[in-house]
Structure 1
């Protein structure tokens, strides 16, 4: 039996460890399997580039548990975006990328494919299964949900998200000290999260929690108020900038600084409308997603707030790459191990789907059918811990 692995989309603190634990789970069956990894996600599948997992890899798989990124590489390729696949040289004009990918799996005699990625990665895998079934080729695909945004429906916790939140909080523990470099500092910590504010919210929660473990010395201006978060902006909450300016002005006058956690997708429709009204074209990726790194939401907010707050210094720092590149923490490793074990059990039973804690089934770790997998899950702003946090920082 031949097993193939594929990681796709942006990286997250779970990819290497997922491959490691999947290898472990197959070894624990007591049987021998041929294993390959397609290089750079669906790009490798389209171009026929793969690497064999030799006996040394299988013997030393635990090394992978301590690394971030993916040993076999990632890419952002959408198999149904023919134009983009042609432009990047993955297929020739007249070729169908879905068909080409399917034929490569047949050529490689793959029985089981493990896709580790977000909703796009795994729903594309479902398209492959369907296409191959029509060609009378039985392929089992069992995916694992990877996204630091934690926005896959109906999965409670995507792999790597806990670690990314922890790392984002750690990032700000250092950056916040920049409030001592000038008077009237405005610090904007821009966190990844296109449609879902979970990562920003949970990062803020972990950071504020860490302040309770620190000893401050307000007599010499080292006060918890100056090191605290003063605003959290996420896509799920409409921001009234006029009200926020009035609130934050008081904080600036009192603390000589304002610290903001900003989800990159917060208020993005307003920002895009403003850019397009000026005649500028907004760039998008192969999936039709706006390229947020080029729009620079943090800079937009700094312009809106900086002048009103009479900031002497404005600092915008993005923690995204720092956070998503981390190796997984223990909490994530435990979930990755359990998920990988269940993935292998279902794969050997020829059950295709995505492994995750099913929110529509009491959060039970299950093999969820592909047709139930969707993206853009919104963060639950009614979460008790989040509302406690907003009250604590004076935003509610």
Structure 2
């Protein structure tokens, strides 16, 4: 059978050193085991998908299982690793840093781990950001804090200059913690390193609070994000019911995907409307959003609206040129303020008194420390990234797919962003919880 896609992970060379981990080589003996290199997990687990592969005479698309290997590529006595964090802040970055340092030190005895300051800027010698030495002692308490101890930045840097820095400092492993832009940078670094035939691997750990990395089930920090948003929505509901015709608007992060807004609304079922980038809606008209708000206000005298930052961009003047941030992302206009103004204007036209509260907790949420589940998740991602790197694998991200940890080529996750399926069960559950199916 032919394979219908190439999800193979590259090595920089044949692993020849015996792993220092004391694991079993066989199954079923009640202890932890090394992962066999041939062990793979099917991506599409449905029977219909498998039967289609048989009809097409193709192997089911599969992913390499993550975990420790019996052989490693790097000599632990001379290995030097580096960690860089890029893009916007997100709960759990410090937990990943801690997990990487602890895993390198205690699993493999790698004693030299450096932190690159302020994202990819730190690999550009022109910025003069000094490296920091990362030890277990230095990172032992950083899981208690949000943000990143290394600092971060947005924007591309010269790939040649960055690889020059890696080569000059004899770095063998580079862990990149970041989202779509960071992973695209990691992919370019991998290609330049391969071209020079350097003894260096690049590993990506997907970080996006929006949970919009393609293929993977979830990214770290996402669960904490809607966990922190939930009590804020509760308080917004208290504000709404505390006034006659009270309206609360909560804007949450979600540039292109509305997973935070939708998940937060499901976890705190006092929300009446959720607006996400994946959907289009009109303000005016019989079936418009404002008419639905009026119907709700007539029956219950209060409304809670949760809106993702990227929703409703079609409502703004399209003649304006789209500006971008340093990472190349389109700078969205403030849908929360637009909704507040349009809602206020609409109800004034109908001579209906309202009290409108607008809440934007985005920077509070993204700077929060990770919750318990995310802490566990971050540590597992970090440890498995270490195992893959020490095995000599490069150009991959560590992620969870179908509830299993796997290696995915970076090239496969940067082609598009994951979005909510508006015809799927998840979005239907959101609409059932809010009641907006009958109103819109």
What TM-score does the superposition give when structure 2 sets the normalisation length? 0.75
Match of 2:121 in 1: 43
Distance 2:262 2:377 in 1: 21
Q: Which has the higher helix share?
A: 1
Secondary structure of the equivalent of 2:131? strand
Match of 1:89 in 2: none
Match of 1:131 in 2: 192
How far apart are 1:7 and its partner, in Å?
A: 0.3
Secondary structure of the equivalent of 1:28? helix
What is the aligned residue count? 348
Q: Is the Cα contact below 8 Å between 1:37 and 1:50 reproduced in 2?
A: no
Match of 1:78 in 2: 156
Query: Which of 59, 69, 89 matches 2:147?
Result: 69
Q: Does residue 231 in structure 1 map to residue 273 in structure 2? A: yes
Match of 2:331 in 1: 291
Unaligned residue ranges in structure 1 (runs of 5+):
80-96, 209-227
Unaligned residue ranges in structure 2 (runs of 5+):
1-78
For 1:72-221, list aligned pairs within 5 A.
72-79=150-157, 97-179=158-240, 182-208=243-269
Shift of the 395–52 alpha-carbon distance from structure 1 to 2, 3 Å rule, reads same
Match of 2:339 in 1: 301
Q: Is the Cα contact below 8 Å between 2:117 and 2:132 reproduced in 1?
A: no
Query: Which of 395, 408, 421 matches 1:368?
Result: 408
Distance 1:105 1:388 in 2: 48
How far apart are 1:165 and its partner, in Å?
A: 0.8
Q: Is the Cα contact below 8 Å between 1:48 and 1:104 reproduced in 2?
A: no
Query: Which of 364, 371, 379 matches 2:420?
Result: 379
Match of 1:395 in 2: 436
Secondary structure of the equivalent of 1:151? coil
Shift of the 175–72 alpha-carbon distance from structure 1 to 2, 3 Å rule, reads same
1:153-188 CA-partner distances (Å, limit 9, x unpaired) = 111100100000111112222233222564322211
**Residue range with higher mean Cα deviation, 242-251 or 364-373:** 242-251
How far apart are 1:357 and its partner, in Å?
A: 1.4
How far apart are 1:272 and its partner, in Å?
A: 4.8
Shift of the 32–286 alpha-carbon distance from structure 1 to 2, 3 Å rule, reads closer
Q: Is the Cα contact below 8 Å between 1:69 and 1:326 reproduced in 2?
A: yes
Q: Is the Cα contact below 8 Å between 1:13 and 1:328 reproduced in 2?
A: yes
Distance 2:271 2:372 in 1: 26
Match of 1:348 in 2: 390
1:4-27 CA-partner distances (Å, limit 9, x unpaired) = 000000010011000011112112
Query: Which of 262, 271, 284 matches 2:316?
Result: 271
